[in-house]
């Protein structure tokens, strides 16, 4: 299984909207497509705000995540915030620990790779 992250561009808006809708429905969040489109448009037009990435598994869209770049006095400047992360159900292993909904190894690997990427982007 080959997993990699693809920097999303404006052309990816329909796919991102589709996955955002899935994520919001799964989490019972209020969904407003116009607000989502507007937010993505702003993100794509100003890379200083952050970036959206598509998670690809064997070239199939398995999910997405969004990094934004707020400013913090505590962290002495700009830092990366993992604003949203979503992995489609078809790509999640449901081998859960009986005591609760622990993340699958795949979910943990994606989160770890995102964390490493954040560190790299902030140190470059």
Answer yes or no: is pLDDT of 123 > 50: no
Q: pTM above 0.85?
A: no
d(CA 53, CA 33): 19
pLDDT tens readout for residues 33-86: 999 999 999 999 999 999 999 999 888 999 999 999 888 898 788 888 888 889
Using DSSP, state whether 15 is helix, strand or coil.
helix
CA angle 96, 66, 57 (to 5 degrees): 55
pLDDT tens readout for residues 108-122: 667 767 766 665 555
- The residue segments making up the domain with residue 20 are 3-123
Picking from 26, 51, 50, 21, the residue whose alpha carbon sits closest to that of residue 37 is 21
Does residue 107 contact residue 86 with C-beta atoms inside 8 Å?
Answer: no
List phi, psi (to 5°) of 64. Answer: -155, 165
Confidence (pLDDT) at 105? 56
Beta strands in the chain (DSSP E): 3-7, 50-57, 60-68, 71-72, 77-78, 81-87
How many domains, the chain? Answer: 1
CATH code, domain with 61: 3.40.630.30
């Amino acid at each position: 299984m080959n997993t990699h992250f693809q920097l999303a561009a404006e052309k990816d808006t329909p796919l991102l909207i589709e996955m955002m809708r899935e994520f919001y429905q799964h989490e019972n969040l209020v969904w407003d497509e116009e607000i989502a489109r507007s937010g993505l448009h702003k993100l794509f037009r100003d890379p200083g705000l952050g970036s959206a990435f598509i998670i690809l598994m064997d070239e199939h869209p398995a999910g997405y995540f969004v990094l934004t770049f707020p400013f913090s006095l505590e962290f002495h400047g700009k830092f990366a915030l993992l604003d949203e992360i979503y992995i489609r159900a078809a790509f999640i292993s449901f081998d859960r620990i009986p005591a609760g909904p622990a993340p699958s190894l795949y979910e943990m690997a994606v989160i770890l790779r995102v964390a490493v990427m954040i560190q790299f982007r902030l140190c470059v």
